[in-house]
Chains A and B, each alone.
Chain A
Amino acid sequence: MKCTEFLKELTNYLDGALDDRTKSDLEDHLAWCHNCYVVCDTTRKTIEIYRDSELYPLPEDLRGRLRSAIMTKCTQSKKSGPQNA
């Protein structure tokens, strides 16, 4: 397997969406190609860091205000009949 072929399969590999044969070919490649190993490892870390970081938390007070505004508007829309949303 060449580095370009490895790269093409990287997303499927990280997502566990490869058949056994391709997965095994890819892991053989990773065993000797340091560059691809690092790309694979750091891409996985990239995903994990973003997944674990709550970049845009919704503060509870804002959350409450938004929910109350949503429900008020929903009730009003029901009273005023169907809307062209």
Chain B
Amino acid sequence: MSAIQPNISEQPLSEELQLVRAAKQGDDKAFEELVRRYDRNVFRIAQHITQNREDAEDVVQDAFLKAYGNLAQFQEQSKFYTWLVRIAVNEALMKLRRRKPERTVSLDEEIKTEDDSVPREVADWSPNPEQMYNQAELRDILTRTIQGLPPGFRTVFVLRDVEGLSTEETAQALELSIPAVKSRLLRARLQLRERLSRYFQKRASGDGNL
């Protein structure tokens, strides 16, 4: 089996850096270009974390505004995007905490799962699971399934597997150690797999309907 490659191709760093440096010098058009480049990603990440459209819109605005205000402090030791994601994740977590004050939301929470053992009965999936449902149904299944993950797992999975950040970049963006990212990623992937199996496993009748 071949390794899965991140879907975001490497942006030429120099071009991004040029925009960042121009923005630092007060070129708002350059900053607007950075917004254009990453607004979709920030919105997606914010929606995944907050699970709320209005909050996600706020996070997009607040994250870019904060990035703009703190641009001088960006040391250029990481990619601008990784730095921006870190700001956006923090903004999104703050929204989540405000919305769910009864429960402390932290990326550091220790979540106990029983995913360290291989499931005893593993059901294989249909060869083309995406084709078992129409687009709206599939979207609903995927959304509900990922929303069921604890925020600490969900965020790592989204940054690493949906947004295509490397393990190191994900660790930087979330201020986690690399082993912590790897451990959460494994658990997130396995939990999602397990939950999706309910919908995608092979059926004797083969009709694809629940």
Contacts and interface: CB of A to CB of B under 8 A. Distances in A.
Contact count band on A: 35 or more
Contacts of B57: 62, 66
Contacts of B92: none
B182 interface: yes
Given A47-B4, A50-B161, A85-B65, A42 B35 contact: no
A85 B60 contact: no
B162 interface: yes
Contact of A50 (B60, B142, B190, B200): B142
B43 A77 contact: no
Contacts of A17: 3, 167
Interface string B158-182: 0001101001000000000000001
A63 B40 contact: yes
Contacts of B61: 66, 69-70, 73
Given A35-B118, A50-B142, A58-B43, A70 B35 contact: yes
5 contacts: A10-B190, A17-B3, A36-B118, A58-B39, A67-B32
In the A-B complex, list the 7 residue pairs whose CB atoms are closest, starting with the nearest: A16-B3, A85-B69, A56-B47, A3-B118, A85-B66, A11-B186, A58-B43
Interface of A: 3-4, 6-8, 10-17, 27, 30, 34-36, 38-53, 55-58, 62-63, 66-67, 69-71, 73-75, 77-78, 82-83, 85
